[in-house]
A and B are shown apart, each in its own frame.
Chain A
């Protein structure tokens, strides 16, 4: 870990100013992913701005009937919130399937969205990785790829996004609110937050330098049956091989987003339209254009079978 200076910001303006003054500063909140990566010098900030003192730790109703979740709300608190449990069960379920109790107590809403891939080649600094060292190549391609992406990958990167929460946020059409160093704010639809790797896998989101997530807003509840099904090798404390987050209405329509398959939460509106026709129809559209490797081609069947199980469970 490289040496860094540290400050605790006590207002969003102070945080923004601190970020503006530095080309190599990072915000730190939960720290559960950032510090992990700093120890390996995959992340090498020279200045840390501790934003834990900012008042982004509340869950509040919005005028539209939804909920605004402060960026610093911890994963445990979010999953346990009564309104989330009642109206956005998918989100609660997704959160609870991720990491461990200890990590969920620290990890924040914003940090969860911004966590980086678990590709083992990204984590091993001896290996070339376009995401870690742009232009160095991708050691994963042609290597051990059981957990890698089958959709939306590129010649530069086949990493997946590891978040469970983000899958639920995507299905719930959440909006990410931010403040930029110049003090301006904006709202980013969750669909537009994460990027596909393309030729620039090191650029993972559409956030600009120093832009700070302040909250994530959920639209008003859409009802339906909420199911988050995470498939993994061991029963807990493991990343998904594949996960399916779905909201299914009585008439069989609904929403579905899939994790463990791409560099971002995967949701295809055309596939959703097929939900009343069943898992095979949805999977065909959802997985259109898939480019699996020999190691991970099973994910295609797994997505379809998991979808089938989820739709069947929703029927009750």
Chain B
């Protein structure tokens, strides 16, 4: 049971942190030549900001952001690319999955300022309602979604999963580590497990991905 006293302790500690942050921001100005890039030393009491530029769906976007801004919030709140979803903000659901430099990542657990020069593909970049990516079409055909909230993350993940199998990256269910993994239902299910769908469309999603995988390249 947190007594009022313990609660007070934790709050006080937080306040100490605030004061320190200002002091340290200032102390780092002297070492600027050692750093490739750095945030602006904040004015008294103001949050630190930094400039960052990366490409999103082929378009270079330059932003000046609070350093705390995740890639997810940069996409959603600053670039208004809301196709990438925030389900948990803690890497526990996969709804925020985007493809960075060809690899799928949870955009909620990475800072936007860490992506200088990176190339980001979001669900909006895979296709449009008029010109859908084959994976998007397959999800519609196989009804691989219901509420639609995990769907962009599932689709980004699915696209990347097929590339991962092609690249020979093994998974937890790969039988023999010394040979290339095969594209089986078990492999797909294991590899897609970082994308939770509470509506429970898994069985249909597996069929959608299988259909896309089976198409001639």
Contacts and interface: CB of A to CB of B under 8 A. Distances in A.
A89 B171 CA distance: 12
Contact of A28 (B2, B114, B157, B194): B114
Nearest to B66: A3
B55 interface: no
A154 to B, nearest CB: 19
From B37, B91, B97, B110, residue with most partner A Cβ within 10 Å = B91
A105 B6 contact: no
A46 B24 contact: yes
B191 interface: yes
A7 interface: yes
Given A18-B28, A25-B24, A35-B109, A6 B17 contact: no
Interface in B161-217: 161, 164, 167-172, 174, 177-178, 189-191, 193-196
Interface stretch (B7-15, B74-82, B123-131, B143-151): B7-15
A1 interface: yes
B53 interface: no
A101 B174 CA distance: 14
B109 A21 contact: no
Interface residues of A, number: 65
Interface in B10-62: 10, 13-14, 17-18, 20-22, 24-25, 27-28, 30-31, 34-39, 41-42, 46-48, 50
Q: How would you classify the secondary structure of chain B's contact residues: helix, strand, loop or mixed?
A: mixed
A3 B68 contact: yes
A5 B17 contact: no
Most B Cβ at <10 Å: residue of A35, A48, A128: A35
A281 interface: no
Contact of B25 (A41, A47, A125, A136): A47
Contacts of B105: 102, 105-106
A4 B67 contact: yes
A235 B193 contact: yes
Given A14-B35, A18-B31, A21-B24, 10 more contacts: A1-B68, A2-B17, A4-B68, A5-B48, A17-B31, A18-B28, A31-B109, A79-B169, A100-B194, A136-B9
Interface of A: 1-11, 13-14, 17-18, 21-25, 28, 31-32, 35-36, 38-39, 41, 44, 46-48, 50, 52-53, 76, 79-80, 85-86, 89, 92-93, 96-97, 99-103, 105-106, 125-128, 132-133, 135-137, 139, 235-237
